[in-house]
Structure 1
């Protein structure tokens, strides 16, 4: 059974959520998309994608003015920064954190894989005359270009918005950045460095250069004639990821701090761990050994046994390599119980937003716990026989889930796992 949470002197709980995602902005719209099994992938509209192999993505319908950003904020901030500000404002309002919070005990841990790449690419195009000039002309750059090349600027923006005076850090670990940023925030709360952490991740990778890089790897699907069905994790004929974009910000708070102020505790982060495969920059070992080790370590930290896990939020990117890798890892870590646990991939609906997706998936796990509904794997009409677990095909499944495991993989060999649980308000 789920272990004695009281063995940890300080517990980290989630008291606020803010989401910017394809299919709708805000936590309510996000959950409606997932629970309906509705895909948000479509032909790319943000730029002319005609020259590219993959011409579909999961875009956010985002208007900065409509979302409350001033003209100055919209002009100064990259799209990823705009997403982060909108998400942090929702999360802070949702958490009810008052102005009386000790700002020196309030920190930021924000993840991003590629930072402000949208504006960085735009500025390079301008100063290089569309790449013609090797020696760029700085006179054509905007005066605030420097933050576009420093990923840490995103955490700075969030810290300013939340008036944080505690520890502020960016975690950039490829596609596990969001998971790892939240994991780091939890560790800072548990070790007493902070009482409240504003954490999560943001990425807006839908740019020509990013699409070209994934095209070169042949990692994205060429299924341009079926945008809604493009991302199909665990399917017999899957053939690549669909890029997405978005942000999630969570308020992670020390349990006693949250209880004293009467906060609505949404879930508890019970355990987190990460490992590296030391194997290949983009490749994965088929046995899933290092991801299985991350899962085991997260379960041990959470004092949870495999039989207590009631749902696995899969990385589920839609590539053959990943699907086989994490199916093997889940079997290796959870044993025979793996066959009894529902497991699904929300990337089938909202795409793969690189560093942001791990945090977005944590938000999905919190909402799964709160609503008692497991989101489906969309487009899974014909399961790969080698992927022989329960991937919740097509339709959401009502089921009480008190303990959830979420996992992620990233270029560079990063493997991360986190265990979340329903708030145990009786254990103090």
Structure 2
């Protein structure tokens, strides 16, 4: 049994609708959406032409011209979030124990935008099969190696401990934070910078999701295109963004008088070993991840006050996780509020799990549950309390957040206010 306890003492967020936790939380609790027509590239001719984009100016966020030239957009997000999380925690890089500070960053698609932009140049717009490497920027190799995202975060905070890039599809953001917590549990680090980033709104990503019809074709009404758990949903809205956290061992955080947002009390992952993109309707593997996370946290279904759902807005996912909640929580599944913030900030692939952790932590701190926007006509097979349209004041001592990813990945994490385990 783990004896070291891991807490979150700093949060940095870059999300559609605003930069920073204040703007992020204001959007979520307003019930408004940040989805709009794609502006990052010309989406004419694509099946899905809507996305949740970040209004992000790297120079205004403190990045130097050299950093902007070197980094892919996803790396820029991660570095800004790392700096913000450290500032929020009250720490500076100079105060971190370098050899005892780790980094764990998640990403599903790495430096997609940088790679695509460079391929267009090298191949003369795709006309040349054999590309001319002399036209490539010096940082092209870094774009091809996803671990550079974690390296940039490590450089930003001076971390010289274990550094890793976690890529498990759409559960990457949860798994990276879970891995970071494990580094502290096992004694490999005292502080871990953990989170995820993705900037996938590009022609290649959009074309891939168009091909499997996973993204919504509701182009005429972008604000209402993301509709998790709604009968009339037609797929998810692609998003982008990042969230990064400062994780610390509880005793260390208390000793320095840190503000503690929440404790990571349980974490588990499972795989369905079934299909690259398909899900079994019974949700068995997600239910098992939830049960194992509850066992680790020593938490019963009755102790869960809020569920931050994966809620992508595809029929198979919404029904799959609804079944998983019922299988793992029993009657409690019908009593606890559930919501999907993807209805407002889209699905940023590997980053969304960390962004949803941020939403869950803020729910604990503020006593408010974000709504599921655009839930006008619930799917009869999704019959839980999905908090439609309007945020709800609700005491949250323990939040469950889950993720589901291509390849069959299923992840569950439990976050609790500090007094929950002390009272157990």
The answer to whether the Cα contact below 8 Å between 2:267 and 2:412 also exists between their aligned partners in 1 is yes
Partner of 1:59: 53
Q: Residues 402-428 of structure 1: CA distance to partner in whole angstroms, max 9, x if unpaired?
A: 000000000000000000001229949
Partner of 1:338: 333
Instruction: Give the unaligned 5+ runs of structure 2.
Output: none
Structure 1 residues 44 and 258: CA distance shift in structure 2, 3 A? same
Partner of 1:321: 316
Q: Residues 97-142 of structure 1: CA distance to partner in whole angstroms, max 9, x if unpaired?
A: 2433311110000000011110100011111111111111001100
Partner of 2:165, secondary structure, is: strand
- Output the CA distance in 1 between the equivalents of 2:420 and 2:260: 9
1:21 aligns with 2:25: no
Partner of 2:7, secondary structure, is: strand
Partner of 1:176: 171
Q: Residues 144-178 of structure 1: CA distance to partner in whole angstroms, max 9, x if unpaired?
A: 11010100000000000000010000000000000
1:114 aligns with 2:109: yes
Partner of 1:294: 289
TM-score by length of 2: 0.98
1:340-379 aligned at under 5 Å gives the runs: 340-379=335-374
1:240 aligns with 2:235: yes
Q: Which of 19, 25, 34 is 1:31 aligned to?
A: 25
- Output the CA distance in 2 between the equivalents of 1:294 and 1:29: 32
Q: Residues 252-287 of structure 1: CA distance to partner in whole angstroms, max 9, x if unpaired?
A: 100001011110011000000000000000000000
1:148 aligns with 2:143: yes
Partner of 1:148, secondary structure, is: helix
Partner of 2:102, secondary structure, is: strand
1:100-139 aligned at under 5 Å gives the runs: 100-139=95-134
Structure 1 residues 303 and 166: CA distance shift in structure 2, 3 A? same
Partner of 1:403: 398
Partner of 2:271: 276
Partner of 1:191: 186
Instruction: Give the unaligned 5+ runs of structure 1.
Output: 1-6
Partner of 1:412: 407
Partner of 2:270, secondary structure, is: strand
Aligned length: 422
User: Following TM superposition, where does structure 1 have runs of at least 4 consecutive aligned residues deviating by more than 3 angstroms?
Assistant: 425-428
Partner of 1:318, secondary structure, is: coil
Partner of 2:196, secondary structure, is: strand
TM-score by length of 1: 0.97
- Output the CA distance in 2 between the equivalents of 1:256 and 1:425: 16
- Output the CA distance in 2 between the equivalents of 1:410 and 1:132: 34
1:47 aligns with 2:41: yes
- Output the CA distance in 2 between the equivalents of 1:427 and 1:103: 31
Q: Residues 154-210 of structure 1: CA distance to partner in whole angstroms, max 9, x if unpaired?
A: 000000000001000000000000000000001111111111000000000000000
- Output the CA distance in 2 between the equivalents of 1:321 and 1:275: 18
The answer to whether the Cα contact below 8 Å between 2:7 and 2:262 also exists between their aligned partners in 1 is yes
- Output the CA distance in 2 between the equivalents of 1:190 and 1:205: 32
Partner of 1:76: 70
Stretch of structure 1 that moved more, 417-426 or 122-131: 417-426
Q: Which of 238, 249, 258 is 1:254 aligned to?
A: 249
Partner of 2:334, secondary structure, is: helix
Partner of 2:419, secondary structure, is: coil
The structural deviation recorded for 1:75 is 1.2
Partner of 2:138, secondary structure, is: coil
1:205 aligns with 2:218: no
Partner of 1:178, secondary structure, is: helix
- Output the CA distance in 1 between the equivalents of 2:125 and 2:102: 39
- Output the CA distance in 2 between the equivalents of 1:126 and 1:300: 52
